[in-house]
């Protein structure tokens, strides 16, 4: 049944209205077995971690800017509904070494290292006892609108935020020479490690661009995993160099969009849309 619908969707490219109708039907049919935190339901591959992807948290009217009150509402929702945040390292240890995961695990990530992550998101994360990872572009640190190394160090030391790598210059890695890719990966990792006195284990691909060869260079550079902008979630069967995420945007109804994205992940996977 699921496969049949997936084939129809793939062949006919039936768009949102039909897909939404199908999604609603499935949701209604399956509601009794679904927990509140449906996106984290255990599967044959064990528990899933939902990886949320943010960029800016500020008052700009832009899809990549989630407004601070909206961000707070989302964190409060996670807290009130039994979700627990994990760091990239905790997720890695759970899936590679069998370390325990909390119930309904969520990994909150921010790309690019905007200053507003410190100004607006960090106090809210602390207030709700949440952890997050920020992927910084090392050449932009301290530039207007971006985090300073001092802010990064403070957040890292607090245990609330893990600072990870988003390369030196944020160029699409698939468009660079191998030599340039190696520089982008190793220099950013080394720079953060030197300045913050920590091991940098994870990368977020700039613009999301990657392929198998790039992934092998990421591994070679000493990273334990890398995050894409492909839509999906994470379990022990997933490729650690192609970790999928759920992007959270500012929309006309940001909270409703957030809830849909939080809860519809496994649904989309089942009907074969996201994985195509």
Residues that bind Zn ion (CB under 5 A): 111-112
Smallest gap from Cβ 205 to Zn ion, in A, equals 8
Smallest gap from Cβ 174 to Zn ion, in A, equals 14
Helix then strand then coil, % of the chain, to nearest 5: 50, 20, 35
Distance, in Å, from the CA atom of 87 to the CA atom of 70, rounded to the nearest integer, reads 22
Which of residues 83 and 227 has its CB atom nearest to Zn ion in the complex? 227
Which of residues 5 and 134 has its CB atom nearest to Zn ion in the complex? 134
Smallest gap from Cβ 53 to Zn ion, in A, equals 10
Which of residues 90 and 111 has its CB atom nearest to Zn ion in the complex? 111
Which of residues 245 and 261 has its CB atom nearest to Zn ion in the complex? 245
Of 248, 258, 185, nearest to 222 by C-alpha is: 185
Smallest gap from Cβ 230 to Zn ion, in A, equals 14
What is the sign, positive or negative, of the torsion defined by CA atoms of 123, 189, 242, 205? Answer: positive
Smallest gap from Cβ 112 to Zn ion, in A, equals 5
Greatest extent of the chain over all pairs of C-alpha atoms, in Å: 54
**Number of C-beta neighbours around residue 45 at 10 A:** 12
Interior CA angle at 229 toward 224 and 233, to 5°? 70
Which of residues 102 and 208 has its CB atom nearest to Zn ion in the complex? 208
Of 170, 180, 161, nearest to 139 by C-alpha is: 170
Distance, in Å, from the CA atom of 85 to the CA atom of 107, rounded to the nearest integer, reads 5
Which of residues 40 and 109 has its CB atom nearest to Zn ion in the complex? 109
Smallest gap from Cβ 137 to Zn ion, in A, equals 7
- 151 phi, psi to nearest 5 deg: -65, -40
């Amino acid at each position: 049944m699921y496969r049949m619908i997936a084939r129809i969707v793939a062949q006919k490219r039936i768009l949102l209205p039909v897909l939404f109708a199908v999604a609603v039907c499935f949701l209604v049919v399956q509601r009794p077995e679904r927990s509140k935190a449906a996106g984290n339901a255990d599967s044959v591959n064990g528990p899933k971690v939902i990886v949320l992807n943010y960029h800016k948290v500020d008052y700009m009217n832009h899809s990549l800017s989630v407004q601070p009150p909206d961000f707070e509402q989302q964190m409060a929702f996670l807290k009130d509904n039994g979700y627990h945040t994990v760091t990239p390292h905790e997720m890695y240890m759970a899936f590679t070494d069998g370390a325990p995961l909390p119930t309904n695990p969520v990994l909150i990530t921010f790309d690019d290292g905007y200053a507003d992550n410190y100004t607006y998101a960090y106090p809210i994360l602390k207030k709700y006892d949440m952890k997050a990872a920020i992927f910084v572009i090392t050449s932009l640190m301290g530039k207007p609108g971006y985090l300073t190394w001092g802010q990064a160090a403070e957040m890292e030391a607090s245990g609330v935020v893990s600072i990870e790598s988003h390369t030196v210059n944020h160029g699409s890695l698939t468009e660079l020479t191998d030599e340039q890719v190696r520089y982008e990966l190793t220099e950013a990792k080394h720079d953060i490690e030197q300045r913050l006195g920590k091991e940098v284990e994870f990368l977020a691909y700039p613009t999301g661009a990657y392929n198998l060869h790039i992934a092998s260079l990421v591994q070679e550079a000493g990273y334990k995993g890398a995050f894409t902008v492909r839509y999906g979630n994470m379990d022990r069967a997933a490729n650690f160099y192609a970790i999928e995420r759920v992007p959270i945007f500012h929309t006309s109804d940001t909270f409703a969009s957030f809830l849909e994205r939080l809860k519809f992940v496994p649904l989309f996977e089942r009907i074969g849309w996201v994985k195509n």
